[in-house]
């Protein structure tokens, strides 16, 4: 990977998705065992479930943080949940992180009459394989409408851009 300029990072996921490693310290230990060039990718959604202190977890990973995934605690766009995004961004700046903030919301589908976004699911045929659709559905989501997806992207941008400038 290094020869072709590719960075490799391991990402801790929450205990409901895997039990291999769930916290930043565990991911850092695995990265250390792999190679000094191996880094860590932290995900706001996962670290808010698993870490005792998310800000200390970011600090501990420090310079080995290669990517940071953005989704709120409810897996919707940043700003639609309870995560303290100003503090997250301050902590990322504190460690000198200047990498990507990768938008990775996986909006849970609510098909009840109480759904906050009743038109979020695409109802027209889409060009994806059955395997791709199964993967999306296995993760509690579905194929999203262009409008819903665009709104989620806009909300994330409106939440984070003022903080990173």
Set 51, 104, 122, 146: catalytic member: 104
**Mean pLDDT in residue range 149-165:** 96
Spatial separation of the C-alpha atoms in residues 125 and 67, rounded to whole Å? 33
- Catalytic annotation on 122? no
State yes or no: pLDDT of 21 exceeds 90: yes
pLDDT grade for 9, boundaries at 50, 70 and 90: very high
44-77 pLDDT per residue, tens: 999 999 999 999 999 999 999 999 999 999 999 9
| pTM metric for this prediction | 0.90
CA distances from 80 to 9, 72, 151, 163 (A): 27, 6, 11, 16
CA atoms within 13 A of residue 145's CA, in its CB half-sphere? 12
Set 11, 17, 37, 51: catalytic member: 11
52: phi then psi, degrees, rounded to nearest 5 = -70, -40
What the chain holds in terms of domains, given with CATH numbers, is: 2-164 (3.20.20.150)
Do the beta carbons of residue 145 and residue 120 sit within 8 Å? yes
Give the pLDDT confidence score for residue 137 in this predicted structure.
83
Least confident among 10-24, 25-39, 48-62, 109-123? 109-123
- Catalytic annotation on 11? yes
């Amino acid at each position: 990977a290094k020869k072709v300029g590719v960075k490799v990072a391991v990402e801790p996921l929450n205990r409901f998705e895997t039990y291999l490693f769930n916290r930043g310290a565990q991911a850092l230990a695995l990265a250390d065992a792999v190679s000094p060039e191996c880094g860590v990718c932290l995900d706001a959604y996962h670290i808010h479930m698993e870490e005792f202190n998310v800000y200390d977890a970011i600090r501990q990973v420090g310079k080995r943080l290669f990517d940071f995934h953005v989704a709120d605690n409810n897996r919707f766009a940043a700003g639609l949940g309870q995560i303290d995004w100003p503090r997250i961004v301050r902590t990322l700046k504190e460690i000198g992180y200047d990498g990507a903030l990768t938008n990775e919301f996986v909006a849970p589908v609510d098909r009840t009459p109480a759904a906050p976004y009743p038109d979020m699911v695409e109802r027209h045929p889409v060009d994806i394989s059955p395997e791709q659709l199964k993967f999306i559905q296995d993760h509690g989501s579905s194929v999203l409408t262009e409008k819903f997806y665009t709104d989620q992207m806009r909300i994330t941008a409106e939440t984070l851009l003022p903080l990173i400038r």
